[in-house]
């Protein structure tokens, strides 16, 4: 599968992979900050943004999408940055096609299974009646019980197109069916020996001390950084802090 890509800048390639229910454009501020020095390629992962839809959302399949897309773009090797679902995709890519990944930055996720309630969120999104009269306020109210935080509801509703024929631009049915795979982690053999950095939000509980042995087993060079004043959405919660970490990690990238 060839993924939709947003390109900017010139120089050594850096690939950005978003999280669940997100899109390439979520990294817009990061992309603008880095594009004067790097060739930034932000991808819509399958069933997200403007990329094609497909039923298989296991991480080896998602990693193969990224690999195929980079090959189609003539990119032999890139620094790969992934947040949450995108971070697991990046890890899978580093394990299955290590020659493609010059260095790896994983944002607020570990190679372990999670149970973070995304099944309920997907069900609430699917339950919104897509009638021609649907307003954003009605859609927001329909999500409130499953998603108490207004900012997260606004994030989710970026995927809904309103008007005479409202529709989800994402492959919501495919995503909902694949939540167990997305929250899980495939048993991918091997290890990635390239430079790797695991960045977490200091206020997030996604990457815990007990996850470090699993990380070190497959990413033996891994270093760890916690960004202050940030939860799971590290790059959005503390843009300046996350950007400083990224810039330091990419300083000697080609």
Active site residues: 84, 232
Sign of CA dihedral 17, 23, 25, 26: negative
**Strand 167-168 to strand 223-227: parallel, antiparallel, or no bridges (unpaired)?**
unpaired
Q: For residue 49, which of 89, 108, 2, 5 has the smallest C-alpha distance?
A: 5
Taking the CB of residue 195, how many other CB atoms lie within 10 A of it? 18
Give the pairing of strands 39-43 and 78-83. Answer: unpaired
């Amino acid at each position: 599968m060839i993924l939709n890509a947003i390109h900017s800048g010139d120089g050594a390639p850096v690939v950005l992979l978003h999280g669940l229910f997100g899109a390439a454009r979520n990294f817009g501020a990061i992309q603008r900050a880095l594009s004067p020095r790097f060739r930034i390629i932000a991808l819509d992962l399958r069933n997200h943004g403007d990329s094609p839809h497909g039923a298989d959302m296991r991480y080896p399949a998602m990693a193969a999408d990224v690999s195929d897309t980079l090959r189609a773009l003539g990119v032999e090797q890139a620094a790969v940055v992934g947040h949450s679902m995108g971070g697991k995709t990046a890890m899978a890519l580093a394990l299955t096609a290590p020659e493609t990944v010059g260095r790896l930055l994983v944002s607020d996720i570990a190679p372990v299974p999670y149970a973070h309630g995304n099944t309920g969120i997907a069900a609430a999104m699917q339950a919104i009646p897509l009638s021609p009269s649907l307003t954003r306020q009605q859609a927001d109210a329909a999500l409130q019980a499953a998603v108490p935080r207004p900012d997260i509801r606004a994030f989710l509703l970026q995927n809904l197109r309103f008007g005479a024929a409202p529709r989800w631009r994402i492959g919501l049915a495919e995503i909902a069916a694949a939540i167990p795979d997305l929250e899980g982690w495939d048993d991918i053999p091997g290890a990635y020996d390239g430079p790797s950095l695991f960045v977490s939000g200091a206020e997030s509980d996604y990457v815990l001390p007990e996850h470090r042995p699993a990380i070190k087993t497959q990413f033996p060079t891994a270093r760890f950084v916690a960004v202050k004043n940030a939860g799971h959405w590290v790059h959005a919660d503390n843009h300046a802090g996350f950007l400083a970490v990224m810039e330091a990690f990419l300083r000697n990238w080609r």
